[in-house]
Homo-oligomer: A and B are copies of this chain.
Amino acid sequence: MNGAESLVHTLLKSDVDVCFANPGTSEMHFVAALDRIPGMRCVLGLQENIVTGMADGYFRMAGKPAATLLHCGPGLANGLANLHNARRARSGVVNVVGDQATYHRQHDAPLTADTEGWARGASHWVRTSMSAAQVGADAAVAVQAARTAPGQVATLVLPADTAWNEGAVPAEALPVPTPSVADPLVVRSIARVLREKKNVLILLGGAALRGEAQALAWRAASAHGAKLLSEVSNARMTRGQGAYPLERVPYPTDAALQAMSWVEHLVLVNARAPVGFFAYPEKRGLHYPENCEIHVLSRFEQDAEASLRALVEELGAPAVAMPDPGPRPEAARGAPTPEGLARTVAALMPEGAIIADESVSFGRGFFKETFAAPAHDWLQLTGGAIGCGMPLATGAAIGAGGKRRVINLQADGSGMYTLQALWTQAREKLPVTTIVLANRKYQILLGEYQNVGANPGPTAMGMLDLGNPTLDWVKLANGMGVEAAQATSLEQVADLLAQSCAQQAPFLIELVI
């Protein structure tokens, strides 16, 4: 057995059975092994940031890592931005990066690069196999690292001769550590804060945003009048009917400091204390008051649900109904507004929909309008590296087994970063509806520019405006095999959205806003 075959067998033994790929010459033995050994679903992306973004979306829905197959240092580099987002989402990903043969590296051939060096900034775990015999064992450790809670980016670099040489052996799956539960002393101390202190905020992140954990958090909070919020950017949140109507810490610094101004005690459940995406002159970078005390119930790698259950028990907190979000919104009419679009999506999304949200500035008000939608999952851009939405939507559709409608709320400027994902949606016939929010500018940056002091002149507008020439998203989507239509009113959005949800195929709506 050669090294490539041992890799495929090892991944399958460790329950990694989807591979997002853009291979090159140094990966041909892996492609051949994938061809010979049944069991791995291979999905092609036309650029590596599509590949890595799909792996992120897949993990968020499937709850287990996929592999990626990437070509040398530059191929990995193309996928780093979405690996950065995956790392911030704490998604598990197993990157397999083919590279120069061990003995060829010395010659500094044109594609030779510092593959490990580039991998490190986006990976929790990096290793280069040095012989075919080692590939199986290294791959098993890579999957173990990727599966370590809540999920990690593991990058395994495989020189070409480790793929083609014989004498390799597949490795069995390695045990994955069970996440720990908050220490009883910690639970007791947090319970005392909730009982005895005023102005307590429980901030939820990661696994605390899912299903039962939300209910337990609400029960703990309501026992003594604490409030709940989530972090600003979240990998996956259970939302809609049956979920807690959870708001996020706002993105803009002023709004965040305002929303947090009353907080004297901040209890973190798998969350980090909020900080600004960026610093601004004369503004506070930590998004909580200076005298606020921070208490950690559970860290991101711990078991949020069990820790919250322990807290509820310690408090003796009585069962409590979820707040009533009211009736499901009706589709809105007229010119597109953020609220109207959110209500329209809430009115029409099927039960169990998945929202892939890279709406950037336009989408800041979407949460409030969708509390009463049917039960759904909401995935956000987590690392701030734009170009996440379309690949994320694509991978999420695959991670959910192709059975749930994905609605990608997509800013146009960010969408242009990774539009190639539409082709994979068409190729795999995925149930993804993309709504491109076409304001034809980098709107978030225009706002930031005005904060800097002035109205933009022609040079600045040349870097912030996308309107010259106008991007035609219908043609772009059609060019990659995805059906599409333009909408200028919310009625049109409603019609197109309803129509697209009835088909097992991708569709793109260009909403001119």
Contacts and interface: CB of A to CB of B under 8 A. Distances in A.
A338 to B, nearest CB: 20
A463 B111 contact: no
Contact of A417 (B28, B46, B481): B46
A383 B463 CA distance: 29
A384 B74 contact: yes
Contact of A78 (B49, B109, B459): B49
Contacts of A42: 459, 462-463
A387 interface: yes
B78 A81 contact: yes
Contact of A111 (B29, B383, B479): B383
A84 B113 contact: yes
Given A101-B278, A104-B276, A417-B46, A471 B460 contact: no
Given A78-B81, A164-B281, A29 B452 contact: yes
A109 B275 contact: yes
Contact of A32 (B100, B383, B454): B454
One complex includes copies of this chain to the number of: 2
Given A161-B279, A427-B469, A44 B448 contact: no
B118 A32 contact: no
Contacts of A480: 469, 471-472, 476
A384 B25 CA distance: 11
B121 A452 contact: no
A26 interface: yes
Interface residues of A, number: 103
A252 to B, nearest CB: 11
A155 interface: no
Given A74-B384, A384-B74, A476-B476, A31 B464 contact: yes
Contact of A34 (B31, B107, B459, B481): B459
Contact of A110 (B103, B382, B462): B382
A216 to B, nearest CB: 27
Given A104-B279, A460-B31, A74 B113 contact: no
Nearest to A415: B46
A130 to B, nearest CB: 15
A401 to B, nearest CB: 19
Contact of A449 (B32, B75, B286, B469): B32
A444 B23 CA distance: 11
A459 B35 contact: yes
A302 to B, nearest CB: 19
Contact of A469 (B417, B423, B445, B472): B423
Interface in A52-80: 69, 72-75, 77-78, 80
A385 interface: yes
A88 interface: yes
A128 interface: no
A28 B286 contact: no
Contacts of A507: none
A278 B74 contact: no
A475 interface: yes
Nearest to A107: B275
Nearest to A121: B114
B28 A451 contact: yes
Nearest to A281: B164
Given A160-B279, A445-B28, A121 B113 contact: yes
Interface of A: 21-26, 28-29, 31-32, 34-36, 40, 42-44, 46-47, 49, 69, 72-75, 77-78, 80-81, 84-85, 88, 100-101, 103-104, 107-111, 113-114, 117-118, 120-122, 160-161, 164, 233, 275-279, 281, 285-286, 382-385, 387, 413, 416-417, 419-420, 423, 426-427, 444-445, 448-449, 451-454, 456-460, 462-464, 466, 468-476, 478-481
Given A42-B463, A476-B479, 16 more contacts: A23-B463, A24-B445, A28-B452, A29-B452, A31-B449, A32-B453, A46-B416, A47-B387, A72-B384, A77-B81, A80-B80, A103-B285, A111-B277, A114-B120, A160-B279, A471-B480
A-B pairs, top 9 by smallest CB distance, nearest first, are A469-B481, A74-B385, A475-B479, A104-B279, A77-B80, A476-B479, A101-B279, A111-B384, A114-B121
23 contacts: A21-B463, A23-B445, A24-B445, A25-B277, A28-B445, A28-B451, A40-B459, A42-B463, A49-B78, A72-B385, A74-B85, A77-B118, A78-B387, A80-B80, A88-B110, A104-B279, A109-B278, A109-B285, A111-B384, A416-B423, A469-B481, A471-B481, A472-B481
